[in-house]
Chain A
Amino acid sequence: MLYREAGDFKVSYQADQQTFPIRFDRLFFWALLASAYFVVPFFINDYWANAVLLPFLIYGVASIGLNILTGYCGQVSLGSGGFMAVGAYTCYKMMTAFPDLNLAFCILAGGVTTAIVGIMFGLPSLRIKGFYLAVVTLAAQFFLVWMFNKVPWFYNYSATGMISSPERTMFGYAITGPNATPAATYLFCLTFLVVLAFLGRNLTRGSVGRKWMAIRDMDIAAEIIGVNPLMAKITAFGVSSFYVGVAGAMIFSVYLGAVEVTEAFGIQKSFLLLFMIIIGGLGSILGSLVGAAFMVLMPVLLKNIMVNSFGWAIDIAAHFEFIIIGGLIVFFLIVEPHGLAQLWRIIKEKMRLWPFPH
């Protein structure tokens, strides 16, 4: 057995609080990160970047964001698509109004604006809960998409109503626009994901995260032990929307390059993100990433298997995809609300004590 925790005792609280308390996990993580930076860029091509890697990295950011709100703080949101649009349009307005501004800054500005909008739509969460809050966020979704469609100022009065991203560079490499290489865009998005995942993990493992979880698990008891519900919910909406907004800005500027709001940020995107965190695992940063990877990879895989190997028609394959996703969601909601992340944890628990489970 290579993989085990038994015999791996912690001698300090600090060691016990690590993200990867098990040495094997830690090594694996660093190896993965190193190859993500130093190996993948040399092999990446357009297909891998656009079909798999960029969507995974960007949706990874968004799904961490939604997981902070829904998985950690227990506030359901169906407005993620609309919030991503806020990030995208802020980024677009910044890029076009200030051509000299650094791209990373425009994307972060998208996150900050989305955080503010998110907090505004989150304020009702102080009074209303569950289903009713979901309806408010759903209204936000439709309102925001409608607004970006109807107010020409947002798309700079372009004839098509679309926004498209001009070329911007980082360290001399084009990140947006037609000259961007897959390696450059990949590294750019990877860095955003790594930094934001790190920050998200830190927020959720300390006292802020416990405040959110306390509100999620039992808001009355939380308040009585000293959690300010207003602050806890507002920070959750703010941080979560920041992540979602950054992801929206990246989808627009780096990944798609040109977007039409209804298509790129419609209600289906809100659901996609929800599926990611349900399948990956509510209340887990790792789960958010696993869920994003799963939802990005599965259609690609299924299409490869069903269309290319079995020779099925594309539309039949698409139907199968829906059936499989639907089935999985029902499965995870009923059997394992903590998703793939929890399944993995259970397997680890079994494995680490093997062959003597007691």
Chain B
Amino acid sequence: MTVSQDAAVQETITPDGRTIGGVLMEMRNITLRFGGVVAIEDISFDIRQGEIRAIIGPNGAGKSSMLNVINGFYHPQDGEVWYKGAIRGPMRPHQIAAQGIARTFQNIALFHGMSTLDNIMTGRLTHMKTGMLSQSVWFGRAQREETENRAFAERIIDFLEIQSIRKTPVGRLPYGLQKRVELGRALAAEPSLLLLDEPMAGMNVEEKEDMSRFILDVNDEFGTTIALIEHDMGVVMDLADRVVVMDYGRKIGDGSPEEVRNNKAVIDAYLGVSSD
């Protein structure tokens, strides 16, 4: 906790030349229980402006639960969430989305009845404010808003190289592309903080490389802060600036990829647990 407050004042330049700013989000002593199961036990860590923060750990460690706490889907029994310098009170997930936190899901959660374009446009909802009355008339404000946001959605489509599946219903897309569309939907929100829950799970090597490139580009070009969960240690080493390691709901390590890799507790936790 005190460490992160120090971090708030300093600005760091990464080896590859990106600027990491002050603390964007800070979790303080978060505890989350489901009945008798303690999914998260007294965990504190912070996420700094502009960094790529990885959360790793074996299955069931509580990583997804942590993202669910961050975007307000789960409410921790204990602890505080600080975001953009203020403590966050009880909020519904859609209010938190409006504050600029977007995410993808471990099991793809696209809108299956809609096309790629519509999924991405849905991601822009927090930027679309015309009321129902103007919408029902369409011509004028609603159409202008739709066109502006469509232009933004098209930029994301170009960025992710999914032009050819723009009008395809997402249910018909192969798994790897669905993951990419889901990333697009999250990016459409122009989030300050992007949460990615195992964005490369189930992908082949080539797809993983593509996805890694997109994640790095998002962070680099738009300066988006990213917190991601990933199993593949190689990927984590390549992408992350700092890593939180979780095991059985507790934090067993926190630091740069090198520090974490050489951490005794981390090595023990991963012994026998293949980090595929």
A223 surroundings in chain B (CB, below 8 A): 92-94, 97
B130 contacts across to A, CB distance below 8 A: 206-207
Q: A203-B132, A210-B125 are in contact. Are A13 and B154 (CB under 8 A)?
A: yes
Chain A residue with minimal CB distance to B147?
A: A13
Name the interface residues of B87-118: CB closer than 8 Å to any CB of A: 92-94, 97-98, 102-103, 105, 109-114, 118
Residue in contact with B137 in the complex, picked from A202, A216, A221, A283, CB distance below 8 Å: A202
Once A206-B138, A207-B128 are accepted as A-B contacts, the answer to whether A228 and B109 lie under 8 Å apart by CB is no
- Chain B interface residue count, CB cutoff 8 Å, equals 41
A207 x B150 contact (CB < 8 A): no
Residues from chain A with a CB closer than 8 A to the CB of B118 are 210, 213
| Distance A213 CA – B125 CA, assembled complex (angstroms) | 12
Determine the chain A residues whose CB is within 8 A of the CB of B151 once the complex forms: 13
Closest beta carbon of chain A to B128's beta carbon, Å: 4
Instruction: Please measure, in the bound complex, the distance between the C-alpha atom of A211 and the C-alpha atom of B135, giving whole angstroms.
Output: 13
B138 to chain A, nearest CB (A): 4
Q: Is residue A159 within 8 Å, beta carbon to beta carbon, of the partner chain? A: no
A202 with B142, Cβ < 8 A, contacts A213-B111, A283-B113 known: yes
- Asked if B142 and A225 make an inter-chain contact with CB atoms under 8 angstroms apart, the answer reads no
Say yes or no: B94 contacts A228, CB within 8 Å.
Answer: yes
Contact check, A224 vs B135: say whether CB atoms are below 8 A apart.
no
Contact B135 A208 (CB under 8 A): yes
CB contact under 8 A between A17 and B73, given known A202-B135, A206-B138, A207-B128: no
Indicate if A185 sits at the interface (CB-CB under 8 A).
no
Question: Contacts of B180 on A, CB cut-off 8 Å?
Answer: none
> B168 at the A/B interface (Cβ < 8 Å)?
no
Given A199-B136, A207-B130, A218-B110, answer yes or no on A224-B93 (Cβ-Cβ < 8 Å). yes
Q: A202-B137, A221-B105, A226-B97 are contacts. A17–B147 as well, Cβ < 8 Å?
A: yes
User: How many angstroms from the CA of A106 to the CA of B202 in the assembled complex?
Assistant: 59
Q: With a CB–CB cut-off of 8 A, which chain A residues contact B122?
A: 210-211, 213-214, 222, 225
Chain A contacts for B93, CB-based, 8 A: 223-224
Contact between chains at A206 and B135 (CB < 8 Å): yes
Residue numbers in A under 8 Å from B94 (CB-CB): 223-224, 226-229
Contact B150 A13 (CB under 8 A): yes
Is A206 within 8 A of B142, CB to CB? yes
Number of A-B contacts (CB under 8 A): 108
Q: How far is the CA of A202 from the CA of B136 in the complex (A)?
A: 5
Known: A203-B136, A207-B128, A207-B135. A226 touches B114 (CB 8 A): no
Q: Indicate whether B178 reaches chain A with its CB closer than 8 angstroms.
A: no
Report whether B128 and A14 are in contact in the complex, using a CB–CB cutoff of 8 Å. no
Q: Whole-angstrom distance between the alpha carbons of A220 and B103 in the complex?
A: 12
B residues 121-152 with Cβ under 8 Å of A? 121-126, 128, 130, 132, 135-138, 142-143, 145-147, 150-151
Q: How far is the CB of A70 from chain B (nearest CB, A)?
A: 13
- Cβ A220 vs Cβ B109 within 8 A: yes
How many whole Å from A274's CB to the nearest CB in chain B? 18
Contact yes or no, B154 A226, CB < 8 A: no
Which residues of chain A are near B135, meaning CB under 8 Å? 202-203, 206-208
Q: What residue in chain A is nearest B139 (Cβ atoms)? A: A202
Chain B residues near A202 (CB-CB < 8 A): 135-138, 142
Complex Cα spacing A211 to B73, Å: 18
A208 vs B134: C-alpha distance in the bound complex, in angstroms? Answer: 11
Q: Evaluate contact between B98 and A226: CB separation under 8 angstroms.
A: yes
Selected contact of B121 from candidates A208, A210, A222, A227, CB within 8 Å: A210
Residues of A close to B125: CB separation below 8 A: 207, 210-211, 214, 225-227
User: Once the chains bind, are A224 and B71 in contact (CB under 8 Å)?
Assistant: yes
Taking a contact as CB atoms under 8 Å apart, the answer to whether B132 and A235 are in contact is: yes
For the complex formed, measure the closest distance between the CB of A254 and the CB atoms of chain B, giving whole angstroms: 23
Contacts of B98 in A (CB 8 A): 226
In angstroms, Cα B132 to Cα A227, docked, is 14
Interface pair A226/B136, CB less than 8 Å apart: no
Q: List 24 A-B contacts (CB under 8 A).
A: A13-B150, A13-B154, A16-B150, A199-B136, A202-B137, A202-B138, A206-B128, A207-B124, A207-B128, A207-B135, A210-B114, A213-B113, A214-B111, A214-B122, A216-B113, A217-B111, A217-B112, A217-B114, A220-B109, A223-B93, A224-B73, A225-B126, A228-B94, A283-B113
Residues of B within 8 A of A (CB): 71, 73, 92-94, 97-98, 102-103, 105, 109-114, 118, 121-126, 128, 130, 132, 135-138, 142-143, 145-147, 150-151, 154, 185-186, 189
**Interface residues, chain A, with chain B CB atoms under 8 Å away:** 12-14, 16-17, 199, 202-203, 205-208, 210-211, 213-214, 216-218, 220-229, 235, 239, 283
